[in-house]
A and B are shown apart, each in its own frame.
Chain A
Amino acid sequence: MTLVASSTATRLADISGSLNVIHDPEQLAAYEIDRMLPAAAVKPGSRDEISEVVKFCAAEKLAVVPCGARSNLSMGAPLARYDVALDLTRLDHILAYDPGDLTLSVEPGIPLQRLAGVLAGHRQFLPLAVPFLNRATVGGTIAAGVHSPLRQAYGTARDFLLGLEFITGQGAHAKSGGLVVKNVAGYDLHKLMIGAMGTLGVITKLNFRTFPALSATRVFTASFTSAENALSLRQRAVQSPLRLLTMDILSPGAVEVLAGQVAARFEAGPAPVDRLPPGKWAFHATFPTAGTATARYERELKHMAEESGCDWCEICGDDRNPASFGRLREFVPIVLESSPATVVVKMSVRPSKLGGILASVADVAQKNDVRWAAAVGGLGVSYFSLLPSARDEQARLSVEKICEKVLADCARLSGNATIPWCPSEWKSSMKIWGPERADFEQMRKLKNVFDPVGILAPGRFAGGI
């Protein structure tokens, strides 16, 4: 251990106790990000300790990366520096829960699954059905800004995060929003923290509105020979009075991956994708069961699917398809394990442009001979994943070419494209955050207000922040 590392660890131990500081390189491996290791990891036990840690890091100009269960740490651009991992898993309490008001306040380190258990006791839930659900913490999920298939019906965290508290890059306590479902007092700083990847502050408390638990749901799956047909079902469904809970379109590659062995490891048990013939596009939707409405959903979905030219469709309950929703939710983790060098591009365009963009990406992937799998959300946000068979220079060149084309296509259609997941050693040559945007300048100014010394996860965010 270097002198700097040991003095850092000592100082951190003063704040949080030596039991809560890790500096053994072997143990630190768990905190690796893009092949970088911190000098130390600290697990503070309170907001005040976090503030102390951050103040110390600011004074010493040490780069600090907040983390929860570390399931999303590989997202983002490579860090410029990495000195201290700030592990928030000890802050894992429910601070307030008023089931009658459907509001909840929690610490960032609480695992989503544990929280889900508590909410289920009151027949409520948070619509954060995100990837890595079995591990992820609430804070990490919000900071990573990952979304869930349920956004079709419930929106993203932006729509149900009511407020939060955080520690700025100077160690100051700050707060935004509140714990009521409607509130316009002060600026919505908490919206900035969603997906900021810890670059603006360390989240110490999150307030949510909760939702009544869903009664049993049913799954509708249809297969198509072309993307156009699957998309035309999407359009019909959107224009119908039905209110679907999830709606996704899977490319043939995505069907294959989700029906494969890796997927089964994530979510065992049967899923409709298992029964689909190869080479087909799939339309996958979930809907609520509610008395006579159930039959109506079934009838109309089938009818619309037929009108859209489906060649097979099926409706079944959760009992017959326990893994159906879970595999969809875990699409990203599953593709990450389905190739030695998975690259995931997140693209979003107006839904009417989906057909064009899918045709273009299929074409360029094929030309460059890279296997691909796309999960297209009903709202126009897609994960387009490239699954090269090797992690070598040739694969990198092909993937880079494809990504360039996809990014350019999305930009041309006034859409967005970023590359949230990518092998570490390829990151420097990829436009992880997409093309430079004019508003990045304002973002840099914001960063400067929240973290003037530039110690919070430097380099990881858009615009070099």
Chain B
Amino acid sequence: MKFAAQRLNRIHHGAGFAALHAALAICRERRIVWLPLVDAPERRDYSAEGYSRIKAICAAKMNAKLLHDLKELLGPDAVLHRPEELMLYEYDGSVETARPDCVVFPRTTADVEGIVRLAQQHKAPLVGRGAGTGLSGGAIARHGGIVTSFARMNRILEIDAENQIARVQPGVVNSDLSAAVAHLGLHFAPDPSSQKACTIGGNVSENSGGPHTLAYGVTTNHVLALEVVLPTGELLHLGNSALDSPGYDLTGLFVGSEGTFGLVTEITVKLTRLPEAVKTLLAIFDTIDDATETVAEITARGITPAACEMLDGWTIRAVEDYVHAGFPLDCAAILLIDVDGLREVTEVEAAEVEDVCRVHRAREVRVARDARERDLLWKGRKNAFGAAGRVSPSYYTQDGVIPRTKLPATLRRIGEISRKYNLQIGNVFHAGDGNLHPIILFDERNQQQFRDTVAAADEIIAFCVQAGGSITGEHGVGMEKDRLMPLIFSEADLSLMQSVRGIFNPEGLLNPGKIFPDSKGCGEIYARPRREGAAPSARQS
């Protein structure tokens, strides 16, 4: 136990999302509840002009009566409210923080309905939370209030193998579902790199993608039905397990709404048959241009690999040091490509992919010999963010999208931006989708460097938009990119979207201050508070 505590301490000093992620992983692995014992600084005042309703809500302090009622409803072990207990819930995977007033752990839909009723009575803001791995501040209680953690609503309710359908509670961890149906030859196709920690509720809220969503589609393509509790207290059933529910596609609207419409309490998903054969290719390049041009040509030739990921030289070296996946240390970029399906088809496709790589001067193309080698390569990819966390005090993961024909130009531009600000930027991303994830390294103790980091990130996103792309491909807008929404949407678009939110979340009580630039100017993001002198310790529960 002491060992875990020491590791947690060390990690916590690292701060940033890497810290949280690692800490969560350890807590999960060891089945401990982490209660850092540290006095909390005052919750920051997030009130903003022009958002008076939210301001009024914020003003409602968590009162003793509400806490009492919540404990009455859920039991005392399902309510956290002491500052030291709340610390872990200040974060998600992003660079944002804010302190909730309490965290509650429902087990049933009825619990959630009860929580919502109380929040209504007390006009307390409500925020849903899965595993807190989100990268845009979605699960952060920007205006305080009640964080509803779905960690204990983690039951798989139904597996219908014949029809390839599963019904789950939102707190089920993504990879747990796939593991539970693997013996049936099935899996849940959306596979975010965080899949060992993130929840299906979080995936639904963010409409998450992953390496293999290139061929299989993102979360929304796999969700059939939802049960949700609106912040008004209403319980809704959207869609159903048969296809084509009559009427407007409310399920499609709710997926990706970033927890601003309702709390999702049950999810019906499609399960996908595991492919008969998978071939994993590792293509090694001496220039980034060669790698990006390869991706553009794979796309243009009409080959759809199951996954097509790129890591640049800097990232490869960071990963190799950490995971020992067998990536070459002296190259400029690698592509990690899966082709899957019928054995005969994968043979042909793998040969085609290899051909394109060679045309674009791949130094070497390796094909994983067996499942072990394949898993190791993928482990390297999926731990890339964690690897970045080991070499830098903090880092900022960006998420932008561009047309795939613009990959070479965009990567060149990111290189220029890196030089302009003198910041190390690593690139590890879903190349086949044109979904970039530049990782900008910085030291949070250096305020100027943090400002430069945000400026560099903004320049990258602006370039994506100029190239015809989007400000986020899978991490969501949250409280990170609300101010960037006007880059792609007009005021009228945004106000229509807000009116739609108003249908389900009329008072803005649920997840306030997210997605829309109405909540906050840029100041907040830039003035990130430093957590100094925090001396957390862990204890077993």
Binding site for B on A (CB under 8 A): 98-103, 123-124, 147, 155, 158-159, 168, 172-176, 178-189, 191-192, 194-196, 200, 211-213, 235, 238-239, 241-243, 290-293, 296, 346, 348-352, 379-381, 410, 413-416, 418, 433-434, 437-440, 442-443, 445-446, 449-450, 461-463
Which of B244, B304, B345, B471 makes the CB contact (< 8 A) with A185? B471
Q: Given that A159-B221, A290-B348, A446-B500 are contacting pairs, would A351 and B163 also be in contact in the complex, using a CB cutoff of 8 Å?
A: yes
Which of A184, A348, A437 makes the CB contact (< 8 A) with B247? A437
In contact, A187 and B500 (Cβ under 8 angstroms): yes
In contact, A182 and B473 (Cβ under 8 angstroms): yes
Extra contacts besides A98-B405, A184-B207, A439-B237 (11): CB < 8 Å: A100-B299, A123-B302, A182-B473, A185-B489, A243-B342, A290-B345, A414-B240, A437-B247, A439-B247, A442-B236, A449-B496
CA distance A184 to B401 in the complex (A): 10
In this complex, the member of A191, A211, A290, A461 whose beta carbon has the largest number of chain B beta carbons within 10 angstroms is A191
Q: Which residues of A contact B160 (CB under 8 A)?
A: 350, 352
Q: Which single residue of chain B is at the shortest CB-CB distance from A101? A: B403
B493-536 interface code vs A (CB 8 A; 1 in, 0 out): 11011011111100000000001000000000000000000000
Complex A-B: 14 CB contacts under 8 Å: A101-B403, A173-B492, A174-B492, A178-B470, A182-B430, A184-B470, A185-B470, A185-B485, A188-B256, A194-B249, A212-B302, A241-B275, A413-B242, A462-B246
Q: Which residues of A contact B163 (CB under 8 A)?
A: 350-352, 380
Q: Which single residue of chain A is at the shortest CB-CB distance from B184? A: A239
In this complex, the member of B241, B250, B300, B496 whose beta carbon has the largest number of chain A beta carbons within 10 angstroms is B496
In this complex, the member of A155, A379, A442 whose beta carbon has the largest number of chain B beta carbons within 10 angstroms is A442
Q: Which residues of B contact A434 (CB under 8 A)?
A: 246
Q: Given that A180-B402, A350-B160 are contacting pairs, would A414 and B434 also be in contact in the complex, using a CB cutoff of 8 Å?
A: no
Binding site for A on B (CB under 8 A): 160, 162-165, 185, 206-207, 209, 213, 217-218, 220-221, 236-238, 240-250, 252-253, 255-257, 273, 275-276, 296, 299-304, 341-342, 344-345, 348, 401-406, 430, 433-435, 468-477, 481, 485, 488-490, 492-494, 496-497, 499-504, 515
Closest 6 CB pairs of A and B: A212-B302, A191-B252, A241-B276, A293-B344, A101-B403, A462-B247
In contact, A184 and B503 (Cβ under 8 angstroms): no
In contact, A185 and B472 (Cβ under 8 angstroms): yes
Q: Which residues of A contact B341 (CB under 8 A)?
A: 241, 243
CA distance A392 to B476 in the complex (A): 56
CA distance A214 to B233 in the complex (A): 49
Q: Which single residue of chain A is at the shortest CB-CB distance from B165? A: A350
In contact, A180 and B496 (Cβ under 8 angstroms): no
In contact, B221 and A180 (Cβ under 8 angstroms): no
Q: Which single residue of chain A is at the shortest CB-CB distance from B471? A: A185
In this complex, the member of B163, B236, B477 whose beta carbon has the largest number of chain A beta carbons within 10 angstroms is B163
Q: Given that A174-B492, A175-B490 are contacting pairs, would A348 and B503 also be in contact in the complex, using a CB cutoff of 8 Å?
A: no
In contact, B252 and A192 (Cβ under 8 angstroms): yes
Q: Given that A101-B299, A290-B348, A380-B243 are contacting pairs, would A239 and B273 also be in contact in the complex, using a CB cutoff of 8 Å?
A: yes
In contact, A155 and B253 (Cβ under 8 angstroms): no
In contact, B497 and A189 (Cβ under 8 angstroms): yes
CA distance A346 to B405 in the complex (A): 41
In contact, A188 and B255 (Cβ under 8 angstroms): yes
A220 CB, nearest partner CB in chain B, Å: 15
Q: Which residues of B contact A351 (CB under 8 A)?
A: 162-163
CA distance A315 to B474 in the complex (A): 43
Which of A179, A348, A440, A450 makes the CB contact (< 8 A) with B403? A179
In contact, B496 and A188 (Cβ under 8 angstroms): no
In contact, B218 and A182 (Cβ under 8 angstroms): yes
Q: Given that A158-B252, A173-B490, A415-B240 are contacting pairs, would A182 and B257 also be in contact in the complex, using a CB cutoff of 8 Å?
A: no
CA distance A81 to B250 in the complex (A): 26
A102 CB, nearest partner CB in chain B, Å: 6
Q: Which residues of B contact A241 (CB under 8 A)?
A: 273, 275-276, 341-342
Q: Which residues of B contact A410 (CB under 8 A)?
A: 242
A443 CB, nearest partner CB in chain B, Å: 5
In contact, A124 and B302 (Cβ under 8 angstroms): yes
A165 CB, nearest partner CB in chain B, Å: 9
Q: Which residues of A contact B245 (CB under 8 A)?
A: 416, 437
Q: Given that A101-B404, A182-B434 are contacting pairs, would A446 and B496 also be in contact in the complex, using a CB cutoff of 8 Å?
A: no
CA distance A86 to B341 in the complex (A): 46
In this complex, the member of A168, A181, A450 whose beta carbon has the largest number of chain B beta carbons within 10 angstroms is A181
Q: Which residues of B contact A463 (CB under 8 A)?
A: 247
B207 CB, nearest partner CB in chain A, Å: 5
In this complex, the member of B247, B434, B469, B476 whose beta carbon has the largest number of chain A beta carbons within 10 angstroms is B247
In contact, B248 and A446 (Cβ under 8 angstroms): yes
Q: Which residues of A contact B247 (CB under 8 A)?
A: 433, 437, 439-440, 443, 461-463
Q: Which residues of B contact A462 (CB under 8 A)?
A: 246-248
B501 CB, nearest partner CB in chain A, Å: 8
Q: Which residues of A contact B206 (CB under 8 A)?
A: 184
A211 CB, nearest partner CB in chain B, Å: 8
In contact, A350 and B220 (Cβ under 8 angstroms): no
Q: Which residues of A contact B488 (CB under 8 A)?
A: 178, 185-186
Q: Which residues of B contact A184 (CB under 8 A)?
A: 206-207, 256, 470, 472-477
Q: Which residues of A contact B301 (CB under 8 A)?
A: 212
Q: Which residues of B contact A211 (CB under 8 A)?
A: 302
CA distance A357 to B174 in the complex (A): 34
CA distance A36 to B298 in the complex (A): 52
CA distance A235 to B476 in the complex (A): 38
Q: Which residues of A contact B477 (CB under 8 A)?
A: 184-186
CA distance A235 to B257 in the complex (A): 35
CA distance A6 to B434 in the complex (A): 53
CA distance A81 to B335 in the complex (A): 58
In contact, B469 and A99 (Cβ under 8 angstroms): no
In contact, A181 and B433 (Cβ under 8 angstroms): yes
Q: Which residues of B contact A172 (CB under 8 A)?
A: 492, 496
B270 CB, nearest partner CB in chain A, Å: 10
Q: Given that A241-B275, A241-B342, A462-B246 are contacting pairs, would A449 and B500 also be in contact in the complex, using a CB cutoff of 8 Å?
A: yes
Q: Which residues of B contact A147 (CB under 8 A)?
A: 244
In contact, B405 and A379 (Cβ under 8 angstroms): no
B253 CB, nearest partner CB in chain A, Å: 6
Q: Which single residue of chain B is at the shortest CB-CB distance from A181? A: B433
In this complex, the member of A187, A291, A434, A461 whose beta carbon has the largest number of chain B beta carbons within 10 angstroms is A187
Q: Which single residue of chain A is at the shortest CB-CB distance from B469? A: A180
In contact, B242 and A414 (Cβ under 8 angstroms): yes
CA distance A337 to B404 in the complex (A): 45
B471 CB, nearest partner CB in chain A, Å: 5
